[in-house]
Amino acid sequence: MKRILVTGGAGFIGSHLCKKLLELRNEVICLDNFFSSTKKNIIPLMTNPNFELLRHDVTFPLYIEVDEIYNLAAPASPIYYQKDPVQTTKTIVHGAINMLGLAKRTKAKILQASTSEVYGNPQEHPQTEEYWGNVNPIGIRSCYDEGKRCAETLFFDYYRQNNVPIRVVRIFNSLTGDQKVIYYKNGILKYKKFIDCYDDIKNEIENIIVPCFGKDNRYVLSPISGIHKHKVTKNGYELFLTWGKQIKLTEDHGVFILNKNQKIQEKFVKDLVIGDIIAIPNQIKWIDIPLMPFKISNILKQDFNFYVSNDDDLERIINNKYFINKCKQSGVGLPSTINNFKRVKRIKSSFLKSNNIILNSNDYIVLDDSKHIIKNNINIMEEFLWFLGFYVAEGSLVNNNGGDYQLHFYSDLKYLQKLNQIIYNLFELETKIYSSDTKPHICIRSKIIFELVTKYFEFGIKKQLEKIIPDWIIQLPKDQLKWFLLGFWEGDGNHDAKTTGNKLIFSSSSINLIDNLNLILLKFGIIGSTCCYYTTCSKDNPKLYKGYLITVQGLSHYDISRLDTVVQKLQRKKNSDIQWAHIKDIKKFDLIEENVYDFSVKNFENFIGGDLISCHNTYGPNMKINDGRVVSNFIVQALTSKPITIYGNGKQTRSFCYISDTVNGLISMMEQDKYVGPINLGNPEELKIVDVANLIVNLTESDSKLEFKSLPLDDPTRRKPDISLAKEILKWRPKVNFKEGLQYTIKYFKDTLGR
């Protein structure tokens, strides 16, 4: 565990850096005199035993023992550094001398957080690290700009003269999993826990789309602009809604509520109360992929060497000129070969392939050590999907050390009779119903069918209680999906004369399976009510086992074979594709250094998570309301309906880097040993000030007008970093685009102004 000093640790960047370093299991000493920072930024860190706050002015020497130093101490906002320019220069220059002296004595690595202001009003664009800048040494901004330039000089002199291990970065402007999510990766549906989703797509978000709703309350599929993972030490809340739906969120995440004016409004979880009405999807957009007829031999050809059993093949072989010529060339007697095929009634698939003999659709296949010949071509998709649904509901597996492959089905007699017929229709395999034990059942002994179900169609070799519905099933079009659902319902057996015709009931001991069933129902525009129950297996075994029920009511009809024509009417309010659910209970829990996750979706900023609930992603910066920077100024003015003040004509450009990207860059720079700097950290996306203002007005839906004022002295006209070195040496680049980070920051200021 390293002992790390962060000067200016209660400031905007410093507080985020302290938090990140604590998450990485370090001891952190936060040093600050609170001239331009605020203690509230670090209050959440105070309970961490590895965090220590030291109130101290860096213009005075410090005598402690540390392994690393991040020197961030300086008033970075023009409002603060121009308030006392002499003190600003002393803080930057004397602070650098004192921290370098500490690093020299303790042999600690030290990183200087320099600034893009060392380039002044640049004549080179974009700015590379080799550019010396264009700075006015006697202007009103010089205390900060020249102070930072002098600090860099001191750092490199200590490096050359005293071998102090320095790092120098030039920072450009900064902004600040167990829930399931739906997303598409290259058009393929995925429905998995956010932690697994993050691992799946974190390095390739370009082809990821998610369902989300727009202003007309209609769901669309939209590409994500980012996926985020960060640790929190704040409170979490679990929401319990109508129909048994649940979701876990951190306190500063948002969901969508229906306010008193019947308008959709984003609301922070910590502000929710029982009775609030939450948005859940009633209908969303899908990408469907149908299951097409297939040959078993084509699907499993990599794993098995099949034999084909069909009298017609013998006739085709006799008349195959290629085969006859090959027998003559090799000296093999043609009659003996044909007679051997007739005797065993099997032809190896590899033999047919090598002799250019194509399998017919009515071929039958069998393994070398098997007695069970089955039909190769599967072309009745409705019955095959019914068979798979029945297996999920009532099937179980037997695989005795790889020597016996069986699928067992237990159900009511009438449904087993239907299963018996469908097995024959699909595979032309004869099975029988066993009724000697307590419950009738059917057993399929076929390694080919066993592998087809468990491996290729991804139902997995697991115990019955752990079965899931694979994602490809959910992606089926409704006219196919209904047959899978019918097979599950008939195999499930949770229906009788009282329920048939007035409700649908699905049950399982697996919550994962219940989640998938709810998603399947959503494809039909159906919302089911989920509850849990406890039951015993038998009279002789009093142990209670947990199970789950989905109950569906309010349908125009209950015929699952016609479910693609159904309409559901519920008592609760509905707006287009959004159904409204009441909060029935809220439970608070502590999140101690837990990872949380977010999608960013350009132009929508919502996605579906948990038990199919529409979520908003947000987390806040620690920027001060009155710090005088462009972003904070514009946001506060927009939120308070004041004029947006732009200095100059607004055509000046800036680049903005999200705070988490900046912090990660600082830590990457400290941890590498190849390069001392300077190195640029920033976002190469160049934006005009007037465009930033208009974007903030649009995002906040403000009625603020733009107001232009004279340009301050020495205000740079262009700012854009060249981050080639950061990419090459640190393998670093910003991951959060400006609009995305801006939306997070707006929400933070909304909350701050509300308080």
| Three state DSSP letters for 324-387 | HHHHHHHCCCHHHHHHHHHHHCCEEHHHHHHCCCCCCCCCEEECCCCCCCEECEECCHHHHHHH
User: Which of 174-188, 514-528, 669-683 shows the lowest per-residue confidence on average (mean pLDDT)?
Assistant: 174-188
Which pLDDT score is estimated for 476?
Answer: 95
Span 130-152, mean pLDDT? 78
Q: Find which of 122-136, 196-210, 216-230, 716-730 is predicted with most confidence, using mean pLDDT.
A: 196-210
Span 655-664, mean pLDDT? 82
Is 288 a residue whose pLDDT tops 90? yes
Which pLDDT score is estimated for 538?
Answer: 66
Within 10 A of 661 (CB to CB), how many other CB atoms are there? 20
Is 513 a residue whose pLDDT tops 90? no
In this prediction, residue 104 has a pLDDT band, given cuts at 50, 70 and 90, of: very high
Is 161 a residue whose pLDDT tops 90? yes
Q: Find which of 130-139, 375-384, 460-469, 527-536 is predicted with most confidence, using mean pLDDT.
A: 375-384
3-state secondary structure of 220: strand
CATH of 180-284+577-616, one of 3.30.950.10, 2.40.50.140, 3.40.50.1360, 2.170.16.10: 2.170.16.10
Span 316-325, mean pLDDT? 61
Within 10 A of 137 (CB to CB), how many other CB atoms are there? 9
Which pLDDT score is estimated for 682?
Answer: 81
The pair of three-digit structure tokens given for residue 479, joined into one six-digit string: 């006219």
Which pLDDT score is estimated for 283?
Answer: 85
Q: Find which of 143-147, 309-313, 583-587 is predicted with most confidence, using mean pLDDT.
A: 583-587
Note whether 744 and 656 are within 8 A (CB): no
671 versus 365: which is more confidently predicted? 671
The separation between CA 232 and the C-alpha centre of its own chain, rounded to angstroms, equals: 17
CA angle 737, 738, 742 (to 5 degrees): 120
**Which residue from 411, 418, 420 is spatially nearest to 439, judged by alpha carbons?**
411
Q: Verify cis geometry, omega within 30 degrees of 0, for the bond prior to 678.
A: yes
657 versus 337: which is more confidently predicted? 657
Which pLDDT score is estimated for 80?
Answer: 55
In this prediction, residue 48 has a pLDDT band, given cuts at 50, 70 and 90, of: very high
Instruction: Indicate if 131 belongs to the active site.
Output: no
**Fold that domain 3-175+658-684+721-736 belongs to in CATH:** Rossmann fold (3.40.50)
Q: Find which of 481-490, 653-662, 689-698 is predicted with most confidence, using mean pLDDT.
A: 481-490
Class of domain 379-575: alpha beta
Domain ranges of the chain: 3-175+658-684+721-736, 180-284+577-616, 294-375, 379-575
Pairing of strands 578-590, 277-281: antiparallel
238-286: pLDDT as tens digits:
888 888 888 888 776 678 887 777 777 777 777 788 988 888 888 888 9
In this prediction, residue 629 has a pLDDT band, given cuts at 50, 70 and 90, of: low
Span 448-468, mean pLDDT? 74
408-428: pLDDT as tens digits:
888 888 889 999 999 999 998
In this prediction, residue 736 has a pLDDT band, given cuts at 50, 70 and 90, of: confident
Span 740-748, mean pLDDT? 80
CA dist 101 and 84 (Å) reads: 25
In this prediction, residue 698 has a pLDDT band, given cuts at 50, 70 and 90, of: confident
DSSP class per residue in 523-592:
HTT---EEEEEEEEEETTEEEEEEEEEEEE--BS---GGGGGG--B--SS-EETTEEEEEEEEEEEEE-S
User: Which of 98-112, 407-421, 500-514, 734-748 shows the lowest per-residue confidence on average (mean pLDDT)?
Assistant: 734-748
515 versus 617: which is more confidently predicted? 515
Which pLDDT score is estimated for 745?
Answer: 83
**Which residue from 289, 215, 681 is spatially nearest to 473, judged by alpha carbons?**
289
Span 427-449, mean pLDDT? 83
Q: Which residues of 302-334 are buried (b: 16+ CB within 10 A; e: fewer)?
A: eebebbbbbeebeebbeebeebeeebeeeeeee
Residue with structure tokens 């399976």? 513
Q: Find which of 16-25, 370-379, 701-710, 733-742 is predicted with most confidence, using mean pLDDT.
A: 16-25
The pair of three-digit structure tokens given for residue 186, joined into one six-digit string: 């290259």
pLDDT above 70 as % of the chain = 77
Which pLDDT score is estimated for 524?
Answer: 93
**Which residue from 114, 76, 139, 116 is spatially nearest to 719, judged by alpha carbons?**
116
364 versus 427: which is more confidently predicted? 427
Is 386 a residue whose pLDDT tops 90? yes
Region of 277 please: left (phi>0), alpha (psi -120 to 50) or beta.
Answer: beta
The pair of three-digit structure tokens given for residue 476, joined into one six-digit string: 């089926």
**Which residue from 397, 393, 305 is spatially nearest to 351, judged by alpha carbons?**
305
Span 588-597, mean pLDDT? 66
Q: Verify cis geometry, omega within 30 degrees of 0, for the bond prior to 126.
A: yes
Which pLDDT score is estimated for 541?
Answer: 73
User: Which of 101-105, 242-246, 321-325, 742-746 shows the lowest per-residue confidence on average (mean pLDDT)?
Assistant: 321-325
Note whether 572 and 242 are within 8 A (CB): yes
What's the pTM value of the predicted model, to 2 decimals?
0.57
Span 383-407, mean pLDDT? 82
418 versus 632: which is more confidently predicted? 418
Is 319 a residue whose pLDDT tops 90? no
The pair of three-digit structure tokens given for residue 48, joined into one six-digit string: 């961490």
Which pLDDT score is estimated for 589?
Answer: 74
| Active-site hit among 144, 159, 184, 658 | 144
CA dist 494 and 504 (Å) reads: 9
Q: Which residues of 40-60 are buried (b: 16+ CB within 10 A; e: fewer)?
A: ebbeebeebeebbbeebbbbe
In this prediction, residue 106 has a pLDDT band, given cuts at 50, 70 and 90, of: very high
Span 519-531, mean pLDDT? 91
Is 135 a residue whose pLDDT tops 50? yes
In this prediction, residue 314 has a pLDDT band, given cuts at 50, 70 and 90, of: low
Average model confidence (pLDDT) across the chain: 80
Is 718 a residue whose pLDDT tops 70? no
Which pLDDT score is estimated for 464?
Answer: 44
Instruction: Report phi then psi at 587, rounded to 5.
Output: -120, 130
